[in-house]
């Protein structure tokens, strides 16, 4: 079981690397341009993807692998009062869209994470982000679901197994952090840590 799981996880990573290296580099360039112009990264998803959103925001605001100035990133998954207020008074489908409306500005980057590509609240947030002039990107899996056609940049892990999609998302998120850090602050400090 362990060997088979490792082989399948490796295959998912290899396949996403083959399919989306150029897209990942493009996403890093979009995030760097946004941050260099005083904009921010807004990240959101449900369940494990919500945890990913928080993880990525922490890597940008605090540090990934090198000490550098904080970078503006907000996980829209953390404020329980906002999430439950919007979910109760309006709809769970609006929990991220309302925050995008309140916080998003043209030139910001909206990064949605959905393993299925069909999460209604991520879909709604991507619609609002595009309407408001935010740059849009999605991490998804399988066939990409509805979200595959809703963002400028789509990174879709070609796997039907949710745990491998989630593992590949974390790998992509860490690569994004590294690409942005290296692009903005150089490679010094990374070589010794590989």
DSSP assignment of 37-68 equals: TT--EEEEESTHHHHHHHHHHHHHHT-SSS--
Report phi then psi at 42, rounded to 5.
-110, 125
CA 114 remoteness from chain centre:
9
Distance CA 40, CA 169 (A): 20
Mean confidence (pLDDT) of the chain? 95
Instruction: Specify the DSSP class assigned to residue 98.
Output: H
Total Cβ atoms within 10 A of residue 127: 14
Quote the pTM value.
0.94
Instruction: Determine the Cα–Cα distance for residues 53 and 66; give it in Å rounded to an integer.
Output: 20
Of 2.70.98.10, 3.20.20.70, 3.40.50.10490, 3.40.50.300, the CATH number of 2-186 is 3.40.50.10490
**CA–CA dist 6, 25 (Å, integer):** 26
**C-beta of residue 30 within 8 angstroms of C-beta of residue 110:** no
Mean pLDDT, residues 22-39: 98
- Report pLDDT digits (tens) over 62-108: 999 999 999 999 999 999 999 999 999 999 999 999 999 999 999 99
pLDDT recorded at residue 5: 84
Strands (E), the chain: 41-45, 73-75, 109-113, 135-141, 153-157
Every domain of the chain and the residues it spans: 2-186
């Amino acid at each position: 079981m362990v060997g088979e799981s490792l082989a399948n996880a490796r295959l998912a990573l290899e396949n996403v690397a083959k399919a989306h290296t150029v897209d990942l580099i493009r996403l890093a360039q979009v995030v760097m341009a946004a941050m260099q112009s005083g904009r921010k990264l807004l990240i959101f998803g449900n369940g494990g993807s919500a945890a990913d959103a928080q993880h990525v925001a922490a890597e940008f605001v605090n540090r990934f692998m090198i000490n550098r100035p904080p970078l503006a990133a907000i996980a829209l998954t953390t404020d329980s009062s906002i999430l439950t207020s919007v979910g109760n008074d309006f709809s769970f489908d609006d929990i991220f869209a309302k925050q995008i409306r309140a916080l998003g500005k043209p030139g910001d980057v909206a990064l949605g994470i959905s393993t299925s590509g069909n999460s209604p609240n991520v879909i709604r947030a991507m619609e609002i982000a595009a309407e408001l002039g935010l740059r849009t990107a999605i991490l998804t899996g399988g066939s990409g679901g509805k979200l595959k056609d809703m963002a400028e940049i789509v990174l879709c892990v070609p796997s039907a197994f949710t745990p491998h999609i989630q593992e590949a998302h974390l790998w992509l998120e860490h690569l994004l952090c590294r690409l942005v850090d290296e692009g903005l602050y150089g490679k010094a400090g990374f070589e010794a840590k590989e």
